[in-house]
Structure 1
Amino acid sequence: MNRLETIKKVLDEKKAEDIEVIDLTDKDYLVDYVVIATTLNSKHGFALLNYLKTELKPLGEEFLRVDDDDEWTICDLGDMFINLMSESARKKYSLEEFLSQLDNKEV
């Protein structure tokens, strides 16, 4: 199972909603992939972060940075961001729309 499949599996098993993986390998952005999932509440977001760490760290995954508050947790894995967002934050910031408007990389 690859990293993205593992992340999606953990999020799905732990009741995250609307899990989306966005491939940005051909876009001009900081990372190659962005995972977005909706949390049920702030405690759920915190729990999801802990489940991800528990499952991924033994596989050699390194969480370079984690920023979190009650509405949004972002995990920087180097080549990937995982966004755990409340439903209201997801609507407000509409990350999917922003990422869909990125330019392709210059060749």
Structure 2
Amino acid sequence: MEISHDQLQKVVDFIDDKRGGNILTLDLKGISVIADYFMIATGNSTTQTKAIIEYLAEKLPEVGIPVLRIEGLPEAQWVLIDCGDLVIHIMTPDTREFYSLERLWGDAREVVLYN
């Protein structure tokens, strides 16, 4: 299933609704077979990370994005939602800084979305 720019924007809006921060979307097409897009965002605590994940699990199907698998609960330092062509990573600040996915996927083009 191809993820549209409008769907990506909706995901950003959903994360923003729960005050997730530093939202970044990377276009991995032609770079990786894992997914077409990675979305990375920060929750300020494990409680906030869980709230963002629960909200996304509820809202994503409403905009036609399937939730195939959620990994990283109950610890919630780094929670991943696998949506097929889109993989969403919600991390606490320390975890995000430590793993630095942005640097790891540095060849990927950033998708400009607004929050």
TM over 0.5: yes
State whether structure 2 residue 95 is matched by structure 1 residue 89. yes
Provide the C-alpha distance between the structure 2 equivalents of 1:29 and 1:41, rounded to a whole number of angstroms: 31
The 4+ residue runs of structure 1 with deviation greater than 3 A are none
Runs of 5+ consecutive residues of structure 1 not aligned to the other structure: 103-107
Alignment TM-score, normalising by the size of structure 1: 0.87
Structure showing greater radius of gyration is: 1
Q: Which SS does the other structure have where 1:10 is aligned?
A: helix
- Deviation for aligned residue 1:77: 0.2
The RMSD of aligned alpha carbons is 1.6
- Deviation for aligned residue 1:49: 0.8
Runs of 5+ consecutive residues of structure 2 not aligned to the other structure: 109-115
Alignment correspondent of 2:104: 98
The alignment covers a number of residue pairs equal to: 102
State whether structure 2 residue 48 is matched by structure 1 residue 44. yes
Work out which of the residue numbers 56, 66, 84 in structure 2 matches 1:78.
Answer: 84
Alignment TM-score, normalising by the size of structure 2: 0.81
